[in-house]
Amino acid sequence: MAWRGLHLSRPSRLRFADGQITVSQDAGETRLPLEDLAWVVIDTPQASLTAALLSACMQAGIVIIFTDARHMPNGMALPFHTHHRQAAIAALQLGTGDGMRRRLWQTLVRSKIANQAAVLARCGGDSTALRAMAGLVRPGDAENVEARAARHYWGTLFANFVREDASDPRNAMLNYGYAVLRGAVARGLVAAGFLPSVGLHHASQLNPFNLADDMIEPFRPIVDLAVWQATTVGARPELEMGLPDRQTLAGILLEPTRMGSETVTVLVATETAAASLVRAMEATSCKPLLLPDLTAP
């Protein structure tokens, strides 16, 4: 079972040999069993990898995330659907009615806002308003409570912060963490047999990951908390996101989180959430849907 990730920030040569990924760098050579890996972040332009390795990673269900010249994730490679019930799951997904989709979106948004409230509480902020907002979300969130909650949340979590300000290093860190998380969520959905382009709420014809962008919402506060801890706890004289920040955010999938009565890694949580979405659609009920719970002690 895959349980670890690989973040590459130095010049590297990658190849596939004997069921392992072989990483050659100036300091030497490292080998990792492919079956242990869930994700690889290639965070350097000075990396080369063989077609044999790419094919082996896709066969093993590993997501590969690439970054641009500014070290921001700008693409990923995912395997084709290999689930043994692929056709049945796709039919179930496509056959899910609008009413059920709206209720599932309601559940996702409520969970996101509840987790945002939990982050505020952990950071010493007042979470009362957000907890109240979570209860106001209706099926489909036609009143856009999610956006109202976001305005309150960001204004309370960070001082002098605008989410759309590209010059703020906190936004760069958030986007980096979200991209890694999005890759893991998409990986879990594909492994469960879903078509990631067919969303519950997101429906852009240009977005191949609409469903991933739905399911990621309750997970986002996990990244928010990590960024708050990195930028608020202690002084940060640097003005840009550095390599230690990127390494921390690339490892966000190994952080613990609550799923129901269990504590699991975020990576396992993405897989569990995807599998529970299948059960929810089969039962035409939101009750089977398992999502990360930051409100749990």
Length of the chain measured in residues: 297
**Backbone region of residue 47 per phi and psi (left: phi > 0; alpha: psi in -120 to 50; beta: other values):** beta
DSSP labels, 171-226: HHHHHHHHHHHHHHHHHHHHHTT--TTS-SS---TT-TTHHHHHHTGGGHHHHHHH
**Backbone region of residue 184 per phi and psi (left: phi > 0; alpha: psi in -120 to 50; beta: other values):** alpha
Q: Domain 86-283: give its CATH architecture.
A: Up-down Bundle (1.20)
Domains of the chain by residue range? 4-77, 86-283
138-191 tens-digit pLDDT: 999 999 999 999 999 999 999 888 998 988 899 999 999 999 999 999 999 999
Q: How high is the mean pLDDT of the chain? A: 93
91-117 tens-digit pLDDT: 999 999 999 999 999 999 999 999 999
What's the pTM?
Answer: 0.92
Q: Which residue has the higher pLDDT, 259 or 83?
A: 259
Instruction: Point out the least confidently predicted range of 24-33, 229-238, 253-262.
Output: 229-238
The strand pairing partners of 77, in sequence order, are 64
Cα–Cα distance measured from residue 50 to residue 140, given in angstroms and rounded to the nearest whole number: 45
Q: Which of 255, 264, 239 shows the shortest CA–CA distance to 171?
A: 239
Q: 27: which 2 tokens?
A: 């300091």
Confidence of residue 85 (pLDDT cuts 50, 70, 90): confident
CATH number of 4-77: 3.100.10.20
Amino acid present at 161: F
